[in-house]
Amino acid sequence: MGEADGFTVDLEELNSVVTELQQFTQHVQDGLDQLARHTAKLHLDWSGAAAEAHRQAHDEWTTGAQEMAEGLDTMRKSARNAHSSYQSAVDANTEMFR
């Protein structure tokens, strides 16, 4: 995109960012799912105060990690929307000069 407005946008790079955010978000979600399975299995045989403290800490950590994954997905959606908007502007400007 041109520099007339004081900045440029590399649409290919922006598209790459969207893809990377999606892949990383999926990687985080897969890791959370795997960790949840392992933790559930661990707690089948573990009880007591230490187990309860672990469960609480794990739940708190999982909540934070899930919030991070949701934030990454929000960033991905915003980047995808920005890409669409910039591409529409490029297409409209190109059409004006035909």
Asked whether residue 71 is assigned to any structural domain, the reply reads yes
Give me the pLDDT at residue 4, please: 62
Asked whether residue 23 is assigned to any structural domain, the reply reads no
Give me the pLDDT at residue 98, please: 82
Count structural domains, the chain. 1
Asked whether residue 84 is assigned to any structural domain, the reply reads yes
Give me the pLDDT at residue 2, please: 54
Asked whether residue 67 is assigned to any structural domain, the reply reads yes
Q: How many CA atoms lie within 13 A of 35 on its CB side?
A: 14
d(Cα 97, Cα 9) in Å, to the nearest integer?
20
For residue 85, the enclosing domain spans: 48-97
Per-residue pLDDT of the chain (98 residues; tens, 9 = 90+): 555 667 899 999 999 999 999 999 999 999 999 999 999 999 999 999 999 999 999 999 999 999 999 999 999 999 999 999 999 999 999 999 88
